[in-house]
Amino acid sequence: MALRYDRAPVAVVDIGSNSVRLIVYDDATRAPAPVYNEKVLCGLGRSIATTGKLEASGVSRALRALRRFRALIEQLHVDRIEVIATAAAREAENGPDFIAQAEQVLGRQVKVLSGNMEAELAALGVVSGIYAADGFAGDLGGGSLELIDVRGGRLSDALTMPLGGLRLIDASGGSLKKAREIVDAEFSKVDWLEKGRGRDFYAIGGTWRALARLHMTQTNYPLSVMHNYRIEADEALKFAALIDHQSQSSLAGIRDLSSARRETVPYGALVLERLIKQMKPRSIVTSVLGIREGLLYSLLSEEERAKDPLLEACVHLAEQRSRSIENSYELCDWTDALFRVPGPVETPEQTRLRHAACLLSDIGWRAHPDYRGAQSLNLVAHGDFVGVDHPGRAFLALTAYYRNEGLVKDDLSQRLIELVDKETLKRARILGAAFRAAHMVAAAMPGVLPHTPLSYEGNRLIWQLPEPYANLEGERVERRFKSLANLLEREPEIRVGTPFQLAAG
């Protein structure tokens, strides 16, 4: 059976210097969901620095993987297929021969990317998945490092350098001391790295993701989500320096580091350490989105690109799991009244996150009542969302938790609370209380909340329940509304049977 009939799945085959990967996305949209993802570490570029050629064993492994990928693509009934190749295939003497074989195996043309195109697609991957990205993107592969300036969706100062993990190992003869000299020599040729001072550095690539995973483990971080994981630059510098001085035997004892990554992680840490010293960024932000997602983003219309990836992902999830997505949309409007003067006023980013929380408010309803809070919290905290940082993700998860558990239980959410400040925590509790009150009247059905608005009058929070909704008033409604009003430091008043009036503003 094919994938969902209302989707147009897209496959991206990425032939890199270290790995060959297939990702099938459900559609080319602003928030594409991977439905199949497979990677084979082939090491095509392992000896390119010394021999100028692709590794023979790597070529064999890559072609075998591509045969399997073609079979999977056909099995998944994917018609739209993009195939790209990067540094190793571009630079090797036998690269054209390999590409010809790959095209024969896949039955598709392989687009060999230039260094600048690699950098631009990696940057578009960052733009597609990190809200209002502003800094430098760095994509570290097996054969090369691409750097590019990203500011408000505009790209500039792109370049590629021969600093990929496998290439450094080959060029340095396995000596980290020699590799450090190579890295410093390459960075000394770039006169615009100082433009990254005080801005974010977006780290892309499997080696840097492995490094970030090690840092998460060391610090006992409360989330396991890699995307948008942020490390302050000083801390990242110390950690990178620690890792690039570790021996292979020392790294072998680390459970969170796969055997396939042990070889390249010290060299990736070395590149990051030297880059931080040269660039002096504010922080290192891990991006799980790179060239492949950037390629997908480049295929979108301007209208689709302009959509918010977080809200789009929340809409997709709400469509699948909520009783009524129309009710979720109405919650966005209904709660708007709570966050206007004289209530707590929001920044545009806080409004965006609140609307995302409204869309996610009912996704746990099918779970057993005893576990709705825990399941909703875990689903949101570890969901496949982009366009949100970790404090924002924690806010969404806490809001979902309070929506289902009420405001008296924090046992499952204590670790996530570490990621938010007091104001954000209070907003999560306010919103959770609002969702609980709204549900007692709307019962997750559309068409009710627009006729039962909230408003402020002096020190009172007013909730209108006009005819024909007057009979929905009850003790539980009063209790939940009182909890909401208390959080807002207002006196609750439910006006039953009064003529319907829209709230001011």
Please write the tens of the pLDDT for every residue from 476-496.
999 999 999 999 999 999 999
Cα–Cα distance for residue pair 159/140, rounded to 1 Å:
12
- Mean pLDDT taken over the chain: 92
User: Which pLDDT value is given to residue 257?
Assistant: 65
Q: Are strands 460-465 and 491-496 parallel, antiparallel or unpaired?
A: parallel
Q: Is 213 inside a domain boundary? A: yes
Q: Are residues 354 and 418 in the same domain?
A: yes
Q: Is 304 inside a domain boundary? A: no
Cα–Cα distance for residue pair 245/251, rounded to 1 Å:
10
Q: Are residues 416 and 480 in the same domain?
A: yes
Q: Is 284 inside a domain boundary? A: yes
Residue pair 205/140 in contact by the 8 Å Cβ criterion: yes
Residue type, 154: R
pLDDT at residue 439 tops 90: yes
Across residues 419-436, what is the average pLDDT? 96
3-state helix, strand, coil in the chain (%, to 5): 50, 15, 35
Q: Are residues 179 and 315 in the same domain?
A: no
Which of 25-29, 121-125, 260-264 has the weakest average pLDDT?
A: 260-264
Q: Are residues 357 and 383 in the same domain?
A: yes
Q: Are residues 327 and 461 in the same domain?
A: yes
Q: Is 303 inside a domain boundary? A: no
Across residues 12-27, what is the average pLDDT? 94
Backbone φ and ψ for 358, nearest 5 degrees, come out as -60, -40
Residues 6+ apart with CB under 8 A from 199: 134, 135, 136, 281, 282
Helix or strand or coil: residue 67?
Answer: helix
Q: Are residues 279 and 195 in the same domain?
A: yes
User: Which pLDDT value is given to residue 4?
Assistant: 42
Helix or strand or coil: residue 386?
Answer: coil
Q: Are residues 327 and 386 in the same domain?
A: yes
Left if phi > 0, otherwise alpha if psi is -120 to 50, otherwise beta: which for 113? beta
Q: Give me the sign of the Cα torsion angle 220, 225, 230, 234.
A: positive
Q: For position 225, which CATH number holds?
A: 3.30.420.150
Q: Is 72 inside a domain boundary? A: yes
Lookup result for tokens 């021999």: 51
Q: Which of 67, 96, 112 is the last residue of a domain?
A: 112
Give, as one character, the DSSP assignment of residue 201.
E
Q: Is 287 inside a domain boundary? A: yes
Q: Which of 292, 327, 358 is the last residue of a domain?
A: 292
pLDDT tens track for 75-90:
999 999 999 999 999 9
Residues 6+ apart with CB under 8 A from 469: 441, 448, 451, 452
Q: Identify the residue with better confidence: 244 or 212.
A: 212
Paired residues of 286 in beta bridges:
203
Backbone φ and ψ for 429, nearest 5 degrees, come out as -70, -40
Q: For position 73, which CATH number holds?
A: 3.30.420.40
Cα–Cα distance for residue pair 326/130, rounded to 1 Å:
27
Q: Which of 292, 324, 340 is the last residue of a domain?
A: 292
User: Which pLDDT value is given to residue 28?
Assistant: 87
User: Which pLDDT value is given to residue 212?
Assistant: 94
pLDDT at residue 505 tops 80: no
Across residues 285-302, what is the average pLDDT? 95
What is the side-by-side order of every strand in the sheet holding 134-140? Answer: 154-161, 145-151, 134-140, 200-204, 283-287, 230-232
Q: Identify the residue with better confidence: 411 or 125.
A: 125
Cα–Cα distance for residue pair 408/202, rounded to 1 Å:
39
User: Which pLDDT value is given to residue 480?
Assistant: 97
Cα–Cα distance for residue pair 80/86, rounded to 1 Å:
20
Domain with 161 in it: 116-292
Q: Which pLDDT band, with edges at 50, 70 and 90, does 5 fall under?
A: very low
Across residues 467-475, what is the average pLDDT? 93
Across residues 106-117, what is the average pLDDT? 95
Cα–Cα distance for residue pair 260/247, rounded to 1 Å:
15
What is the distance of C-alpha 267 from the center of its chain? 25
Q: Are residues 108 and 122 in the same domain?
A: no
Q: Is 396 inside a domain boundary? A: yes
Residue among 269, 127, 250 at smallest CA distance from 200 = 127
Cα–Cα distance for residue pair 372/378, rounded to 1 Å:
10
Across residues 68-72, what is the average pLDDT? 97
User: Which pLDDT value is given to residue 497?
Assistant: 82
Structure tokens at 435: 């969702």
Number of alpha carbons in the 13 Å side-chain half-sphere of residue 246: 23
Please return the burial class of 173, using the count of CB atoms within 10 Å of its CB with bins 0-12, 13-18 and 19+.
exposed
Residue among 65, 102, 83, 110 at smallest CA distance from 24 = 83
Left if phi > 0, otherwise alpha if psi is -120 to 50, otherwise beta: which for 492? beta
Residue pair 65/73 in contact by the 8 Å Cβ criterion: no
Q: Which pLDDT band, with edges at 50, 70 and 90, does 184 fall under?
A: very high
Paired residues of 463 in beta bridges:
454, 494
Element (H, E) at 391: helix 390-405
User: Which pLDDT value is given to residue 504?
Assistant: 47
Q: Are residues 202 and 107 in the same domain?
A: no
User: Which pLDDT value is given to residue 66?
Assistant: 98
Q: Identify the residue with better confidence: 245 or 292.
A: 292
Cα–Cα distance for residue pair 138/275, rounded to 1 Å:
10
DSSP 356-369: HHHHTTTTTTTS-T
Q: Is 4 inside a domain boundary? A: no
Cα–Cα distance for residue pair 153/131, rounded to 1 Å:
10
User: Which pLDDT value is given to residue 370?
Assistant: 86
Q: Give me the sign of the Cα torsion angle 126, 130, 134, 138.
A: negative
Cα–Cα distance for residue pair 384/22, rounded to 1 Å:
18
Q: Are strands 10-15 and 80-85 parallel, antiparallel or unpaired?
A: parallel
Which of 241-250, 310-319, 373-382, 482-491 has the weakest average pLDDT?
A: 241-250
**Of all residues in the chain, what percent carry a pLDDT higher than 70?**
93
Q: Are residues 108 and 193 in the same domain?
A: no
Q: Are residues 131 and 173 in the same domain?
A: yes
Cα–Cα distance for residue pair 185/389, rounded to 1 Å:
34
Q: Which pLDDT band, with edges at 50, 70 and 90, does 1 fall under?
A: very low
pLDDT tens track for 151-167:
978 899 999 999 999 99
Cα–Cα distance for residue pair 448/459, rounded to 1 Å:
26
Residue among 362, 281, 371 at smallest CA distance from 320 = 362
Residue pair 130/387 in contact by the 8 Å Cβ criterion: yes
pLDDT at residue 253 tops 90: no
Number of domains the chain contains = 3
Q: Which pLDDT band, with edges at 50, 70 and 90, does 238 fall under?
A: very high
- Alpha helices by DSSP H, listed for 280-371, are 291-298, 302-305, 309-321, 325-336, 348-359
User: Which pLDDT value is given to residue 180?
Assistant: 96
pLDDT at residue 408 tops 90: no
User: Which pLDDT value is given to residue 259?
Assistant: 66
Q: For position 314, which CATH number holds?
A: 1.10.3210.10
Q: Are residues 108 and 141 in the same domain?
A: no
User: Which pLDDT value is given to residue 6?
Assistant: 52
